A and B are shown apart, each in its own frame.
Chain A
Amino acid sequence: DAGITQSPRHKVTETGTPVTLRCHQTENHRYMYWYRQDPGHGLRLIHYSYGVKDTDKGEVSDGYSVSRSKTEDFLLTLESATSSQTSVYFCAISESGAGGQGVDTQYFGPGTRLTVL
C-alpha cells in the first residue's frame, strides 16, 4: 500500500461522539486526500491537502474537518458523528495534484471501516 497506513482500521462509535481518523505516509508526497466509499456512490472526495497546513474541501465535506501539521500525517475528524457517516474511509497520496503540474495518480491506504450506531 505504497507506505500509507491508516488507523484505526475498524471503529464502532455512537451518534454524537467525535471521531478522528489518521493517515500516515512514508513517501514524502505533497498531496493527501480523504475519500469515503459507499455502495452506489463510489469514491467521493471529502477533503484534500496540498501541503502542510494547506487544505481544501472536496465534494462531500459537510460534517468533516481535516488537519495537516506534518507532511506525513493527515487527520480526518468527524466533530459529531452521524449514522450517515457510516462508511469506509480511504486516504490517498500523490506527488502531483490540484494546482500542481503533474497528473494526479493516487496511491491509496488500506481503509478504515467506520460504523456509527
Chain B
Amino acid sequence: SQKIEQNSEALNIQEGKTATLTCNYTNYSPAYLQWYRQDPGRGPVFLLLIRENEKEKRKERLKVTFDTTLKQSLFHITASQPADSATYLCALSKAAGNKLTFGGGTRVLVKP
C-alpha cells in the first residue's frame, strides 16, 4: 500500500542553524510534492510545491529537494528562527487533478 513517512519525533534545533526534514514515500510515483506548515490549533498553510522534473525549489529561507530515485523529499529551513517552530507536513499527488495524500508531519522547535 502507499505510504508517506515523516519523522514523528520532534526536531529540536538552535536558532540560526539549518533544520532539515525528510519525507519518504513507498509504492507511490508522485508527480507533485507539496509542503505545508501547521501551527497548533490552526489549519495547514501551503508553503512550496515541487514537480517531479524539478530537483530543487527555493522560497526565501526555505528549500525543497525532490529525488524520485530515492523516493524522498528534503525540506530545509535555513537560518532558523523561533517563529519557524511549527509542524511541517508533506503531501503528494500522482498527477494534476489528483487528490493529495498527506504525511503525518514533523514538529520543529527552534530554541533561541
Given known A42-B89, A105-B49, contact A110–B97 (CB-CB < 8 A): no
Tell which of A90, A104, A107, A110 touches B100, judged by Cβ atoms closer than 8 Å.
A104
The CA-CA distance from A98 to B72 in the complex, in Å, is: 24
Give residues of chain B (42-86) contacting chain A, Cβ–Cβ below 8 Å: 42-46, 49
Is the beta-carbon distance between A1 and B99 smaller than 8 angstroms? no
| Residue A92 lies at the interface, judged by CB distance under 8 Å to chain B | yes
Contacts of A111 in B (CB 8 A): 41-43
CA distance A18 to B2 in the complex (A): 33
**How many angstroms between the C-alpha atoms of A43 and B101 in the bound complex?**
8
Give chain B residues whose Cβ lies under 8 Å from the Cβ of A104.
32, 93, 96-100
Contact status of A42 and B49, CB under 8 A, knowing A92-B43, A104-B97, A105-B34: no
Closest B residue to A1 using CB positions: B43
Q: Is the interface on chain B under 10, 10 to 19, 20 to 34, or 35 or more residues?
A: 20 to 34
A100 at the interface (CB under 8 A from B): yes
CA distance A4 to B98 in the complex (A): 22
- Residues of A contacting B32 in the complex (Cβ-Cβ under 8 angstroms): 103-104
Contact A97 B42 (CB under 8 A): no
Measured between beta carbons, the chain B residues less than 8 angstroms from A45 are 99-101
When the two chains form their complex, are residues B104 and A42 in contact, meaning their CB atoms are under 8 A apart? yes
Chain A interface mostly: loop
Kindly state the separation between the CA atoms of A48 and B97 in the bound complex, as whole angstroms. 13
Taking CB as reference atom, which chain A residue is nearest B45?
Answer: A108
Chain B residues, Cβ within 8 Å of A103: 32, 49, 93, 96
CA of A106 to CA of B104 in the docked complex: distance in angstroms?
Answer: 17
Chain A residue numbers with a CB within 8 Å of B96 are 96, 100-104
Q: List 23 A-B contacts (CB under 8 A).
A: A1-B42, A1-B43, A40-B104, A42-B89, A42-B104, A42-B105, A43-B89, A45-B101, A90-B43, A90-B44, A92-B43, A96-B97, A100-B97, A102-B96, A104-B32, A104-B100, A105-B34, A105-B49, A106-B44, A107-B46, A108-B45, A109-B43, A110-B41
